[in-house]
Structure 1
Amino acid sequence: MESHQKLSVELGELLLLNKQVLVTAESCTGGGVASAVTDIAGSSAWFDRAFVTYSNQAKMDMLGVKSDTLDSYGAVSTETVAEMALGALQHSTATIAVSISGIAGPTGGSELKPVGTVCFGFANQAGWLEVDTQYFHGDRAAVRAQAIGYAMGTLCDYLRRI
């Protein structure tokens, strides 16, 4: 997607400018952010690694998400994405992280968490931690594309401010 490419280029420039290195921890986007940023030549200068933790077990094994968190709040929660982002930082050499967990559909939604619900976690080694929940519309591909764009756009917004 062309808008993802423009965001990826901008994100890379901002990461380099701010001497930051990115790690991603993705669930419903299946590595879409990592794919978008590594489409840019030279991304190895500002991208460390990606964790695609689609299952709850993977979130626990690879990122250290607590089973109590998953049991109490579910995989699609601000609590879980906070632990995912912090775990990604802990298990990488990166300085800034984004985590994503959501319900892309067409099934899996509930009254409290309908299809299109996506939670995001953003963290860095300096102690910044921000979580957010967005509600996207459209089919599975559209929800995933919107989530990828939102994650990269939010990182760009943050990096412009520091």
Structure 2
Amino acid sequence: MTDHELAERVHAALRAEGGTLAVAESLTGGLLAAALVDVPGASATFRGSVTAYATELKASVLGVDEGLLDVYGPVHPVVARQMAEGVRALLGATYGLATTGVAGPDPQDGQPVGTVHLAVAGPGGTLVSSPLLSGARATIRHDAVTAALELLAGRLSR
């Protein structure tokens, strides 16, 4: 399934339940939001996004715990969880979806290239996924978008 088809599926599921979505991106730098808004009628379910690429923005804008960032850095499953929960609250959405990780070309804060953490926060709690991706920087970023859309689509289909 293509990213466009996944995004269509996500929007259809959100419409069916009367839900909305907000996105917090780091690793994907806006690609996830772009995939979502590429679908005609996205405004019915997509509230908006925050691209918090700088570590301090994860804390100041999205409410990620500064102590957590100091100890583990921005690439951590709990950071992804807090990003998803933070953007959900900030933008008043039913669901929050977040991406953080290392696209390369070099490791970051001791984390190898391809380390990715994704999270979806919603009424039933927060689900985190940590796929290890490989390939060039662009490939990792694209595959992270696909994995995030799949994570959300799976959550919505329950």
Q: Is this a same-fold pair by TM over 0.5?
A: yes
CA contact (8 A) 1:22 1:49 kept: yes
Secondary structure in 2 matching 1:88 = helix
CA contact (8 A) 1:7 1:152 kept: yes
Find the aligned partners of 1:127 and 1:7 in 2 and give their Cα distance. Answer: 21
CA contact (8 A) 1:103 1:118 kept: yes
Counterpart of 1:68 in structure 2 is: 67
Matching residue's letter, 2:114? G
Which segments of 5 or more consecutive residues in structure 1 lack a partner in the other structure?
Answer: none
CA contact (8 A) 2:106 2:112 kept: no
**Which residue of 121, 131, 151 maps to 2:119?**
121
RMSD in angstroms over aligned alpha carbons?
1.3
Find the aligned partners of 2:3 and 2:107 in 1 and give their Cα distance. Answer: 26
CA contact (8 A) 2:62 2:86 kept: yes
Indicate yes or no: 2:103 matched with 1:104: yes
Secondary structure in 1 matching 2:75 = coil
Choose 101-110 or 5-14, whichever is displaced more.
Answer: 101-110
CA contact (8 A) 1:53 1:59 kept: yes
CA contact (8 A) 1:73 1:79 kept: no
Secondary structure in 1 matching 2:131 = strand
TM-score by length of 1: 0.93
Deviations 1:103-158 (CA, angstroms, capped at 9, x unpaired): 00111347x6210000111101x241111211101000100011000000111111
Counterpart of 1:87 in structure 2 is: 86
Secondary structure in 2 matching 1:41 = coil
Find the aligned partners of 1:106 and 1:59 in 2 and give their Cα distance. Answer: 22
Find the aligned partners of 1:154 and 1:101 in 2 and give their Cα distance. Answer: 14
How many pairs are equivalent? 158
Matching residue's letter, 1:103? V
Q: Give the percent of matched residue pairs that are identical in Structure 1 and Structure 2.
A: 33
Which segments of 5 or more consecutive residues in structure 2 lack a partner in the other structure?
Answer: none
TM-score by length of 2: 0.95
Matches within 5 A, 1:15-30: 15-30=14-29
CA contact (8 A) 2:24 2:98 kept: yes
